[in-house]
Amino acid sequence: MSPRELARLATGIENGAPLPENLAGGAVSTYGDGATAQADGYSKSAHGRPFVKHQPFRTVCEHHLLPFAGVAHVGYLPAERILGLSKLARLVEHFAARPQTQERLTRQVADCLLERLQPRGVGVVLEAEHSCMTLRGVRATGATTVTSALLGTLRSDPRSRSEFFALAGVRA
């Protein structure tokens, strides 16, 4: 790879993907006094605990400039606002579209959901294989790094936390 190609690659990654429209503009479905948001097809009784499991992502390690890739498990406990499931996947893509650390990526997704949706709880687990561990140094092929961020009820309530980790397939 030439220096010019590397610069072009880095520039494209640093710009990032756009924040999903529903999160950027705050246009999420809102329930008031038991009303339903018909436009998005959601009803307050039907949304349960939104959870997306095994959402693939890839990014570049900001320390080594080598890729790491894995899956994200993202869920939340709605209060008054909900979000389409595809927006959860797009949110992960948004923050992964620039050089990152796995720890920061995990927290950015969780913090954004908490700030924009104001749910009762948010949970994010990322599992990834880092090229910096498989191609150099210890060459630990198959080693997976797991990070988690739990906020609100998913952090404070042991039963909710256990349920989230069970859905993600991660031992707490």
| Mean pLDDT in residue range 158-171 | 91
CATH number at residue 153: 3.30.1130.10
How much is the pLDDT for 30?
44
**Which three-class secondary structure state does DSSP give residue 171?**
coil
Q: Which two tokens stand for residue 101?
A: 């650390």
Active site residues: 61-64, 102, 130, 132
Burial 31-62 (b: 16+ CB within 10 A, else e): beeeeebeeeebeeeebebbbbeebebebbbe
How much is the pLDDT for 32?
43
Q: How confident is the model at residue 144 (pLDDT cuts 50, 70, 90)?
A: confident
How much is the pLDDT for 76?
95
Q: How confident is the model at residue 18 (pLDDT cuts 50, 70, 90)?
A: low
Closest alpha carbon to 160 in 152, 169, 149:
152
Residue 21 has pLDDT above 60, yes or no: no
- Which residue range forms the structural domain that includes residue 96? 3-168
**Domain count of the chain?**
1
Residue 159 has pLDDT above 50, yes or no: yes
Q: How confident is the model at residue 85 (pLDDT cuts 50, 70, 90)?
A: confident
Q: How many Å apart are CA 101 and CA 93, to the nearest integer?
A: 14
Q: How many Å apart are CA 171 and CA 140, to the nearest integer?
A: 22
pTM above 0.85, yes or no: no
Q: Which of 37-41, 42-46, 108-112, 163-167 has the highest mean pLDDT?
A: 108-112
How much is the pLDDT for 17?
59
Q: How confident is the model at residue 101 (pLDDT cuts 50, 70, 90)?
A: very high
| Mean pLDDT in residue range 23-30 | 48
